Structure 1
């Protein structure tokens, strides 16, 4: 059976939705599917990963080609609504089931109507949380077509936290921000929190890892010039894994997420998270158990960071609880099994419908 994913957000950045697409495609390939991704240019790390997993990469065809006909078309990420529309058109032209994973919060959808139209017309819509499922149901997506799949980490190899620290001249505690540098992800809030943290923990280093996204990123970092603030761009997955292992905690006080993959990755490395309020945040982060949920202000973020830096035993306990949650509830095998089951159900239903004609 053949599945084709539509997601054209890889260049110039690789973030949660991009990783979700390639991990899901790789998982389907392992389950015996002919999996491929319709996308634009991808970075070399992504191309190497996909080729190694047996996943094809190609441009979205301008017109449907029957020789390329898939059994399922699956569009991922409502941040690119044109991909949802294109995926729907392709699936309908081929006469095959269409699935959508919105992946992004409604606040960042550029075209809400296109996204919701695609979701309402899809044969299956995959939500990352109960809160997202309920939001989509309330927006008119039939409940019978909604499926919760969650998230899973994929951290390759063995991390080298000592080398990460040496390479960047870090000796004291590390607070890590990991993600696109946009205000909605909370990087500015964390920058503004640094002074409050240094009042109690002056040897703390803040590492901001991920691509610049907002136009004023350079100005924001220029306002916080300090050797204890280290800004890095995109790095490969090995370096990201080492950064997570090197930090004391992950702080991404995002306000427009659904189920941030970086939280799951931090928990996989036994690190607690400091998070803010977004759709379903209390469902994702168990406050006081695997992380802390705070209002998105510099002062409240700093208070949470100071609490964890000042209480190593609590910090370690939260990291362990997060790790247990990943082991018990989250993981790509579980996600892939859920998606695989839905795909097979859709294909069987479509064949039954065709037979009845």
Structure 2
């Protein structure tokens, strides 16, 4: 966090026993209130000291981290608005009754998309809501030649960026790409990202069976890969926003993702991405099989005009989410939250 003041909240070692009790309480709905009280007793005073003098307190996340409750307590004590940015993945995380108990304590809810706001409203939250989006660096300085030369890559590149886990679509993509190669042996799949600690490392710095497995790369490595790729393919099972698709958009690269409601809102309706799969159940689930994903990759490989148009549209869409524009939306939301809090306090004083 270069250039930013960071205050770390800590509990004394002697309080480890209390934290153990808190962990047991949080796992049992009937004891959660006790867990929250104990957690606030340990951390609320520190939070108040660290946050004294601020105009608004902004919590990013859900309830199970518990720090949101200490932040809410600090906001009440300091008399400042408390806002939450839940980053909900409906049906996956952030939508439990415990989470909504925390969200109800906020004077404002920052939603990343209209889909998230509509979902929160449908669950009974009244807001006020502020649609802020998410921010990306306005970068197009990736060096395609450097990336290709570093790994002796020729031909079209399908790029995967993210954790190498099934929920990010990594396993499905590798299966689909093995079928792609039967028709397009010139294509390469580059996977860049960390492997979960409990799994064998998926890193091989040479192309093997058309696949290059890279580990966690630097920001420059990532941008070099984006500049070099023919398309980005990250068929995640869930997304709150999908920053990586927007980052690819800055390079006018076509993207493939699941037809998730969030991506449909941000990319699909603008013709800025090739979205695949079929919704099932309620909420945010989209089924996708190997054949459909294979066909989507081949469609972009075999139709350069379509790929180019999708990339141009993605470039236009991503323009709205560069940091300078997103910061303006956050500033407006903060000012509204402070103004709403001031009005509420004035109304309260008039009734007393």
TM range (shorter): 0.7 to 0.9
Which residue, 282, 290, 308 being the options, matches 1:316? 308
Deviation at 1:94, TM superposition (A): 2.6
Q: Within 1, Cα distance between the matches of 2:95 and 2:123?
A: 14
Q: Is the 8 A contact 1:274 1:292 kept in 2?
A: yes
Q: Secondary structure at the match of 2:148?
A: helix
Partner residue, 2:102 = 118
TM-score, scaled relative to structure 2: 0.78
Q: Within 1, Cα distance between the matches of 2:162 and 2:302?
A: 25
Deviation at 1:110, TM superposition (A): 6.8
2:303 maps to 1:303 = no
Q: Within 1, Cα distance between the matches of 2:203 and 2:291?
A: 18
Q: Is the 8 A contact 1:99 1:124 kept in 2?
A: yes
TM-score, scaled relative to structure 1: 0.77
Q: In 2 relative to 1, CA 91–323 (structure 1 residues): closer, same or farther, beyond 3 Å?
A: same
Q: Within 2, Cα distance between the matches of 1:287 and 1:67?
A: 44
2:188 maps to 1:205 = yes
User: Which piece of structure 1 moves more, 149-158 or 265-274?
Assistant: 149-158
Which residue, 132, 138, 152 being the options, matches 1:149? 132
1:1-357 equivalences under 5 Å are 47=1, 50-51=2-3, 55-60=4-9, 62=43, 63-66=46-49, 68-69=51-52, 70-78=54-62, 81-109=65-93, 112-142=96-126, 144-156=127-139, 158-213=141-196, 215-216=198-199, 218=201, 226-286=208-268, 289-295=271-277, 296-327=288-319, 329-355=320-346, 357=349
The gaps in structure 2 that reach 5 residues or longer are 11-42, 278-287
Q: Give the aligned length.
A: 301
Deviation at 1:80, TM superposition (A): 5.9
Q: Within 1, Cα distance between the matches of 2:47 and 2:238?
A: 35
Q: Within 2, Cα distance between the matches of 1:64 and 1:152?
A: 27
Q: Secondary structure at the match of 1:231?
A: strand
Q: In 2 relative to 1, CA 123–110 (structure 1 residues): closer, same or farther, beyond 3 Å?
A: closer
Q: In terms of Rg, which structure is larger? A: 2
Cα RMSD over matched residues?
2.5
Q: Within 2, Cα distance between the matches of 1:301 and 1:235?
A: 26
Q: Is the 8 A contact 1:64 1:93 kept in 2?
A: no
Q: Within 2, Cα distance between the matches of 1:226 and 1:67?
A: 52
Partner residue, 1:32 = none
Q: Within 2, Cα distance between the matches of 1:299 and 1:91?
A: 52
Q: Is the 8 A contact 1:79 1:104 kept in 2?
A: no
Q: Within 1, Cα distance between the matches of 2:63 and 2:296?
A: 30
Q: Within 2, Cα distance between the matches of 1:278 and 1:83?
A: 30
